[in-house]
Amino acid sequence: MRRARGFPAFGRMQRRLGPVAQTWWGREWTRVLEEKSGLDAEQLKAGRKIAYTGTVGPITLSPGRISAEVREGHDFYETYVAITPFEDREWGWLLEEFANRSGYLAALLDHEMPQDLATSAAGIGVPLFPTTGGVDTECDCDDWHSLGCRHAAALVYQAAWLLDADPFLLFLLLGKDEEELLLELQFRTVAHVRRPAARGSSIADAYARTPGPLPDIPVEVPREPAPRLDVSSPPGLPPELLPQLYANAVWHARHLLADSANAEPEPRLDMNEDLARVIAQNFNVEIARKIPPLRDAAMAWFYGGREGYAIAHDKWAPSELELARARIALEAAELGEFTAETDREGPTNWFTFTEPRIQLRLGRDGRWYPFTMGKGDWVAAGPPDRDPAMAFAVPPPLKIKRPRKRVPDC
């Protein structure tokens, strides 16, 4: 099995108008990387130009990484783009979804990727394309900094051309090459053929059925995806809301099972925390748009999970040693002038910069959480990082839209 694949350099190509990629998945790759990699408009424009000049060397793709040497003038730069591969349990969810849809495999073997495949994957919590905080770039050129450079942008665009030709390369980046993926799918497909077909029930039939004995609580908390919901929506309930309520019930049930199996159960979420978590999973919910406090709480949970929510709502007083280390880290990052916020108890974990107007908050976990000023209050603006410079490089405030990222702690 090939855990890395090399491709010869693209020669000089004639630039064309319109999208760089030709397929929908190639265009989605470039769109997501343009938005999530932190590259600004000038870097992207310069990177697109470099991509067509033929100065990007042979490209190597491996799980989580794309690398190449980029020439500019007489200089050569080692450049790479990194994304977060799937964990084993995430692969399990995706392969189970594949096994349920035989048409997906047939399309991939024809070097086509059904758009419904990406939608289904995102729906079960394993988005095929990178999400916020899941993209990193690096280059040894003098211009590279926390926001990337034009050489990284060129590599993103040329990777889109490779994906155009072979959609299996996207799965290689996520952790499995074509041979490994097809072998695992073969075993799962055979298992599905042998498994009795499940039949759905109407709500009336489900309520009329005599309940059977409850199963024993398993020692191991199930990690596989929840069974597919196959019931009609009750009158008066929006159809899209029922799967959300079902997913939320499954989440709570599994946490209750985990608590019963652990000697020291995790603290339960209070009502406000749970509401922020649910809205963070469904940013298209109308209540999140109409009530700014709920929207802001959901943003904090979306970026940082429970710790991000706590940082957004409460200050804490670092010790003198923690405070000294925090100041040293901020000064070493050379981010500009900042003020350490204080309250009646003394210095707090909030550090506010005047230009640009950004606040970094030190979490109890040692990570820096970025906030920007919204309409009268600070709003979570990006994922946390142990490097204050990385946390400081936050994007402009996001508009409310459904995120593709799986919410932490779910």
253-267, 276-290, 379-393 — which one is most confidently predicted on average? 379-393
Residue 174 has a pLDDT of: 92
Nearest to 355 by CA among 342, 340, 373, 336: 336
370-400 pLDDT, tens digit per residue, is: 998 877 788 888 889 999 888 888 654 433 3
pLDDT-based confidence at residue 404 (cuts at 50, 70, 90): very low
Contacts of 251 (CB under 8 A, 6+ apart): 410
Nearest to 125 by CA among 308, 281, 284: 281
pLDDT-based confidence at residue 194 (cuts at 50, 70, 90): very low
122-147 pLDDT, tens digit per residue, is: 888 888 988 766 778 888 887 765 45
Residue 410 has a pLDDT of: 41
Q: State pTM to two decimals.
A: 0.48
Q: How far is CA 106 from the centre of its chain?
A: 27
Residue 350 has a pLDDT of: 93
Residue 23 has a pLDDT of: 92
Half-sphere exposure of 141 (CA within 13 A, CB side): 23
CA distances from 308 to 135, 252, 360 (A): 20, 20, 12
190: pLDDT strictly greater than 60: no
Compute the average pLDDT of residues 230-244.
64
Phi then psi for residue 112, to 5 deg, are -125, 145
Q: How far is Cα 326 from Cα 129, in angstroms, rounded to an integer? A: 34
Compute the average pLDDT of residues 167-179.
90
The DSSP 8-state label assigned to residue 365 in this structure reads: T
The pLDDT mean for the chain works out to 78
pLDDT-based confidence at residue 402 (cuts at 50, 70, 90): very low
Q: How far is Cα 383 from Cα 162, in angstroms, rounded to an integer? A: 29
Would you list the domain boundaries of the chain?
5-192, 244-410
Q: How far is CA 188 from the centre of its chain?
A: 26
pLDDT-based confidence at residue 235 (cuts at 50, 70, 90): low
Helix axes 178-194, 88-100, angle to 10 degrees: 60
Contact 388, 368 (CB under 8 A): yes
The DSSP 8-state label assigned to residue 385 in this structure reads: B
Residue 123 has a pLDDT of: 84
> Which has more pLDDT, 408 or 344?
344
Q: How far is Cα 139 from Cα 151, in angstroms, rounded to an integer? A: 7
Residue 260 has a pLDDT of: 61
Q: How far is Cα 377 from Cα 305, in angstroms, rounded to an integer? A: 20
Residue 344 has a pLDDT of: 82
Phi then psi for residue 80, to 5 deg, are -145, 155
> Which has more pLDDT, 96 or 245?
96
Q: How far is Cα 104 from Cα 107, in angstroms, rounded to an integer? A: 5
**Distance between first and last Cα of the chain:** 33
Contact 86, 94 (CB under 8 A): yes
Compute the average pLDDT of residues 285-308.
74
203: pLDDT strictly greater than 70: no
